[in-house]
Structure 1
Amino acid sequence: MPTLPRAQRANPIQQAYEQVVVTMRSGDLPEAEQMCRRALISYPRDPNLMCLTGELCLRLRRPQEAITWFGRVLEMLPGYPRALEGKGKSLLAEKRPNKAVNVLRAAAEKLPDRVNTHLALGRALMMAGKRDEAATVMEHALALDPGRAAVTRASDALQEGRTQEAEKTLREYLQQNPDDPIALRLLSQIAMDKQRRRAAVRLLKRAVEVAPDFVLAWNNLAEVQMKEEQYEGALESVGRAIALDPRQPQAWSVKGNILSRAQRHEEALQAFDTALKFAEAHSGALSSKGHVLKTIGRTDEAIGCFRQCIRDHPQFGEPYWSLANLKTFSFDPDEVKVMEDLVQREELQDESRVNILYALGKHYENQHEYDRAFGHYQSGAGLRRQQEVYDPVQNQVVHDRNIEVFSGPFLAEREGQGNLDDAPILVVGLPRSGSTLIEQILASHSMIEGTMELPDLGRCIRAVSRARKDKVEYPEAARDLAGEDLRALGQRYLDTTQRYRSGKPYFIDKMPNNFSNLGFLHQILPNAKVINARRHPLDSCLGSYKQLFYNGQSYTYDFFELGQYYLQYQRIMDHWHEVMPGKILDVHYEDVVRDQEGQTRRMLEYIGAPFEDQCLRFWETERAINTASSEQVRKPIYTKGLNFWKHYEHHLGELIEILEPLLKDLPPEDRPGSLQ
């Protein structure tokens, strides 16, 4: 076979580097980092790949890790300008301005015309208290390129978590330069971080209006629209990104995620396959494809996807937990050894470490090594808790306000004023309490539609707050709703949930956290049915503690917060039973396991649907299930989950103490030894 002349041969290092840069520009920073790490296996001493990895760590807000990468480069090449700048910025992000000044001075001497370097030096000098010198350096940076300097300063502030400063800088800049697409996109990121999605959509639409070829902004717009469940708009936006660059895997992966969220699973798989055609090791596409396959019951193929992701990205933690989270999967000894070795590595990302620790916890639990399992769960939960924001006092205040507003007299005054449709069946409760099992049993009935965890009731609540001009928020704002308002809100819920239905008389909304808002639900849909999934308090809490959630449920990673949350859940459910007697059906997981037919008949009688034998063979029902219990409910009921907490009892002292008021009322056989 003839070979190309040397000048025409592709430089493999340069090729790998450029592929990472393209992925970065598409906005997929985690994937770009995985690509960098994979390239460094082949080219471990390439300074530019090492610097690029450090820059990605910094952009992903892991400055300590970034310092390590830049330090390695400087050990090989002292005075390398790119590494000096990167290390200086990382030190700055670590709030170590004096050290940052020394490093950035050296970088600025070598890069006298680089705006970013001088801006970083000016920031370091300001933080170090050298204000006069800082002002001189900043003036020099602004003189080099005024517009770019402002946007760069905002980007750096955003990267370092100084969101307020970044927003102020961008707004001031956009007053003079309203059509700068990069600044518009950066401001949209801030809006997203603050959960202001509508504002983010407006900013991104403006960005692509003034820069129609801005692929990253089209991708971002599609992702925000997806989160707002504007699926058609999201598909149109990602379609524009694909049209601009049809070989870009990130856009195809985004399209797959949109289609998956829209319950168009087969189309989603096609989109992920297209992404993998252009980047066969794309971690996001592999992992997301695996999740879709799991959701639709193609478990063996899902396992294949997750294992391929591990082969291509051995330090990427998500696929390890995805395998463990199948609940029915077992790791082989070699895989366990790899995971144990990985969690000992200092350079492993925290998020990957958490995923692997939980996977190991599940493995040792399956081997009945409960003490060893708990050690891994505890380590993973402690690390994850550091990344979560949760305020137990605020949670109590929210319940206090709901209880005060939705009193018995208040609900009685408005009885029957909402929309009288009886189609909705809400399954509520805490995670890991049997709600997916209840849903699967009911969804096996010919008259009942199984959907998913729907956000629509929460959106109706937010609409109540948004409608107030006097800044009175929910739940207090609900006091002023007239009958026509209640009917309209009930109709809104029915209209927006219609996309998940196929025409059956009833449908299930399995959003567990709706338990807080049952008074509001009763106002707008008085004939909606509510099934409260209950389980032994220790099994419910321990099950949540052992579950690594993709997002939300921030209270589950600490026993004190978990126990307090359970007490608040019990408190508000007791209130709903008191003010709405007979409206809510409590269904205990233990009762379903011991008497499935009796409990199934009880639920169907409450709903008003005739009994059907198929409900007793729920595992035969083929439907998409997107929860942690998806594989378990595709098998007949088993009893090994009853009182599972006893395997961990001597680790649960803090939780038992908090839950004592509830536990002491249980039968002796269901109480911990300390309460006998």
Structure 2
Amino acid sequence: MDAESAALLEQAAELRRAGRVEEAIAAYSDLLKREPDLADSWYNLGWLQRQARQYELALHSYAEALKRGVRGPEEVHLNRAVILSDHLARPAEAEAELKAALAINEVYVPALLNLGNLHEDRGDRAAARATYERALAVAPNHPLALARLAGIVEPKGDSADRLIGRLEGEIAATREPAARADLGFALARLLDAQGEYDKAFAAAEAANLASREAFGRGFRPYDRAAQKALVDRLISAFSKPVARDGEPAPAVFICGMFRSGSTLVEQILGGHSAIVSGGELDLIPALPGRIAGYPEAASNPDGAELESWRRFYLDGLAPYRRGQALVTDKRPDNFLHIGLIKTLFPDAKIVHTRRHQLDNLISLHFLHLGPAMPYGLDLDDSAHWYDQHERLMAHWKTLYPDDIFDVDYDLLVREPEPVLKGLLSFLGLDWEDDLLHFHRRAGTVKTASVWQVREPLHARSSGRWKHYRDQLERALGELTGRE
């Protein structure tokens, strides 16, 4: 390598370390035109392109790294699998990449965990279980593998009883907060299913505490004043309805509280011949970070700005589109951005999922959420988020009363056909008899509700909060008005 190439390599590395993604991509691209055999630089370029959402280019760069003998090729195959599965809707190719990683290193636990998760997404319980057990054979008592295994076993019976004891033992033995969180949420699920409600709630509470600890010093706890201020700004910025333009939106936007039935609604709709399931897309939440001065700046964009935002969304949606079919964009927290959605696509239809508040709060409390959703770590914070969600949704419904359709989870599971016929009428679609057989349908589901939507409709989760009345009263105070 000559001096000029060496200087360019150092510049590219400095830009990458500084988080200047676009500049680093340009520098690595220039370097690799001069020095195409630098496998590690191809890897770094692929990593940066993935951060920039240049997924096809990232796949190409990772392939070049493999071709040129990159160190740790199993990790490169893993990275390619994540892109194919999470961003390009190509699960079969993702599986091939994971198997390629394991052909290189059969004890590579990250590939085993991702392969098991891919089997779960596709509803193959036996394959998922075998893969997690294979991971545990390689790394006995690996916390995430053990937690994932606990998440797919039948919650009653000898296997579940043995797993409960094993989870309790591992929680007691580990000081690692991330491991305690993984194991604790799995334990809470099994105890809840067995009717051990006091123990289940205690396990969930401990798991949430461990999550806070695991997020470290940089963790920002839920800020109630900031969330209220954001909702105030959204209401003020998007104070008037956008006029329809007669152009059909490319997607149906399904939103609401997490754990309010959005995955179930999408899975049912995904059986319609005119709809393709897109899953939990991150396209709308990614846009505010690209709009300086959001939300105020998004309420009245010029033509060029609006077109660039629309293009960003449509490019990201492209891997999911099939002819003229609508794509379901099921992202619960898109309720924050209905004003932006209607700015992008004035004729967009919004499906808003609802659930009994206390059932929703308990379900959140038992769910392992990341640091981006800190409200879920505390019941009182979750109640505050819920109340702000209700306040903002009331505003959107005032602006767009004919473009938002509420689906009540409890009514849906009790009387599905009339609810679905109303929803289809709202979407301008005809009834199809196969819709209620959603649990038999092949396909990928990439949310925490992956196994619930593989079952026929049932009302077992309605009224679940009553098992935790005492704990809810301790956390929230008097429940009057929330019951």
Does TM-score exceed 0.5, indicating one fold?
A: yes
Structure 1 residues 578 and 635 mapped into 2: Cα distance closer, same or farther (>3 Å)? same
C-alpha offsets along residues 199-243 of structure 1, whole Å, 9 cap, x if unaligned? 554565567667755545533432343344322111111112212
Q: Structure 2: which amino acid aligns with 1:285?
A: A
Which residue of the partner structure matches residue 309 of structure 1?
A: 135
> Which residue of 148, 163, 179 maps to 1:335?
163
Which residue of the partner structure matches residue 179 of structure 1?
A: 8
> Which residue of 264, 277, 287 maps to 1:450?
277
SS at match of 2:444: coil
Does 2:241 correspond to 1:402?
A: no
Taking the aligned partners of 2:474 and 2:34, their CA distance within structure 1 comes to 57
Q: Answer yes or no: is the 8 Å Cα contact 1:449–1:504 preserved in 2.
A: no
Which residue of the partner structure matches residue 361 of structure 2?
A: 541
Structure 1 residues 588 and 337 mapped into 2: Cα distance closer, same or farther (>3 Å)? same
Does 2:125 correspond to 1:299?
A: yes
Taking the aligned partners of 2:260 and 2:27, their CA distance within structure 1 comes to 41
Which residue of the partner structure matches residue 243 of structure 1?
A: 67
| RMSD (Å), alpha carbons | 2.6
C-alpha offsets along residues 119-173 of structure 1, whole Å, 9 cap, x if unaligned? xxxxxxxxxxxxxxxxxxxxxxxxxxxxxxxxxxxxxxxxxxxxxxxxxxxxxxx
Taking the aligned partners of 1:481 and 1:404, their CA distance within structure 2 comes to 16
Does 2:328 correspond to 1:508?
A: yes
Does 2:93 correspond to 1:267?
A: yes
Q: 1:266 deviation in Å?
A: 1.3
Structure 1 residues 557 and 206 mapped into 2: Cα distance closer, same or farther (>3 Å)? farther
Alignment of 1:193-592 (within 5 A): 197-198=21-22, 201-202=25-26, 205=29, 215-245=39-69, 248-261=73-86, 262-326=88-152, 328=154, 331-346=159-174, 348-386=175-213, 387=215, 388-392=219-223, 393-408=225-240, 411=241, 414-416=242-244, 420-465=247-292, 473-482=293-302, 486=306, 489-490=309-310, 492-549=312-369, 552-592=372-412
SS at match of 1:344: helix
Q: Answer yes or no: is the 8 Å Cα contact 1:188–1:203 preserved in 2.
A: no
Q: Answer yes or no: is the 8 Å Cα contact 1:327–1:632 preserved in 2.
A: no
Q: Answer yes or no: is the 8 Å Cα contact 1:534–1:587 preserved in 2.
A: yes
Q: Structure 2: which amino acid aligns with 1:336?
A: I
C-alpha offsets along residues 602-631 of structure 1, whole Å, 9 cap, x if unaligned? 100000001111112111222111011112
Q: Structure 1: which amino acid aligns with 2:232?
A: D
Which residue of the partner structure matches residue 16 of structure 2?
A: 188
Does 2:456 correspond to 1:636?
A: yes
Q: 1:490 deviation in Å?
A: 4.0
Structure 1 residues 498 and 253 mapped into 2: Cα distance closer, same or farther (>3 Å)? closer
Q: 1:372 deviation in Å?
A: 1.0
Structure 1 residues 628 and 327 mapped into 2: Cα distance closer, same or farther (>3 Å)? farther
C-alpha offsets along residues 524-543 of structure 1, whole Å, 9 cap, x if unaligned? 21211101110011111211
C-alpha offsets along residues 434-454 of structure 1, whole Å, 9 cap, x if unaligned? 000000111111111111122
Taking the aligned partners of 2:69 and 2:307, their CA distance within structure 1 comes to 47
Structure 1 residues 401 and 327 mapped into 2: Cα distance closer, same or farther (>3 Å)? farther
SS at match of 1:452: coil
Taking the aligned partners of 2:299 and 2:451, their CA distance within structure 1 comes to 43
Taking the aligned partners of 2:18 and 2:211, their CA distance within structure 1 comes to 23
Structure 1 residues 568 and 190 mapped into 2: Cα distance closer, same or farther (>3 Å)? farther
- Greater relative contact order (Cα 8 A, min sep 6): structure 1 or 2? 2
Q: Answer yes or no: is the 8 Å Cα contact 1:424–1:508 preserved in 2.
A: yes
Taking the aligned partners of 2:197 and 2:18, their CA distance within structure 1 comes to 43
Q: 1:334 deviation in Å?
A: 3.7
Q: 1:426 deviation in Å?
A: 0.3
Q: Answer yes or no: is the 8 Å Cα contact 1:188–1:204 preserved in 2.
A: no
C-alpha offsets along residues 83-116 of structure 1, whole Å, 9 cap, x if unaligned? xxxxxxxxxxxxxxxxxxxxxxxxxxxxxxxxxx
Which segments of structure 1 move beyond 6 Å, counting only runs of 4 or more?
none
Q: Structure 2: which amino acid aligns with 1:240?
A: E
Taking the aligned partners of 2:151 and 2:220, their CA distance within structure 1 comes to 24
- Segments of structure 2 that go 5 or more residues without pairing to the other structure are 1-5
> Which residue of 594, 601, 605 maps to 2:421?
601
Taking the aligned partners of 1:355 and 1:528, their CA distance within structure 2 comes to 38
Q: Structure 1: which amino acid aligns with 2:113?
A: S
Taking the aligned partners of 2:53 and 2:47, their CA distance within structure 1 comes to 10
Structure 1 residues 206 and 646 mapped into 2: Cα distance closer, same or farther (>3 Å)? farther
Q: Which structure shows the higher helix fraction?
A: 1
Taking the aligned partners of 1:326 and 1:552, their CA distance within structure 2 comes to 25
Q: 1:646 deviation in Å?
A: 1.1
Structure 1 residues 337 and 325 mapped into 2: Cα distance closer, same or farther (>3 Å)? closer
Q: 1:395 deviation in Å?
A: 2.0
Q: Answer yes or no: is the 8 Å Cα contact 2:254–2:352 preserved in 1.
A: yes
Q: 1:282 deviation in Å?
A: 0.8
Say which is worse superposed, 383-392 or 514-523, in terms of deviation: 383-392
Which residue of the partner structure matches residue 3 of structure 2?
A: none
Q: Answer yes or no: is the 8 Å Cα contact 1:532–1:586 preserved in 2.
A: yes
C-alpha offsets along residues 352-376 of structure 1, whole Å, 9 cap, x if unaligned? 2210111111121122111111111
Number of residue pairs aligned between Structure 1 and Structure 2: 469
Which residue of the partner structure matches residue 117 of structure 1?
A: none
Taking the aligned partners of 2:365 and 2:33, their CA distance within structure 1 comes to 46
Taking the aligned partners of 2:306 and 2:348, their CA distance within structure 1 comes to 14
C-alpha offsets along residues 301-358 of structure 1, whole Å, 9 cap, x if unaligned? 0111112112222242112222334485564444333322221225x43212210111
Q: Answer yes or no: is the 8 Å Cα contact 2:155–2:193 preserved in 1.
A: no
Structure of higher CA gyration radius: 1
Q: Structure 2: which amino acid aligns with 1:650?
A: D
Alignment of 1:114-133 (within 5 A): none
Q: Answer yes or no: is the 8 Å Cα contact 1:538–1:645 preserved in 2.
A: yes
Structure 1 residues 336 and 213 mapped into 2: Cα distance closer, same or farther (>3 Å)? farther
Does 2:483 correspond to 1:657?
A: no
Structure 1 residues 233 and 484 mapped into 2: Cα distance closer, same or farther (>3 Å)? closer
Say which is worse superposed, 589-598 or 482-491, in terms of deviation: 482-491
Structure 1 residues 495 and 271 mapped into 2: Cα distance closer, same or farther (>3 Å)? closer
Q: 1:557 deviation in Å?
A: 0.9
Say which is worse superposed, 227-236 or 480-489, in terms of deviation: 480-489
Taking the aligned partners of 1:207 and 1:651, their CA distance within structure 2 comes to 60
C-alpha offsets along residues 567-588 of structure 1, whole Å, 9 cap, x if unaligned? 1111100111122222211111
Taking the aligned partners of 1:259 and 1:479, their CA distance within structure 2 comes to 34
- Segments of structure 1 that go 5 or more residues without pairing to the other structure are 1-176, 466-472, 672-676
Taking the aligned partners of 2:196 and 2:386, their CA distance within structure 1 comes to 27
SS at match of 1:454: coil
> Which residue of 427, 430, 433 maps to 1:613?
433
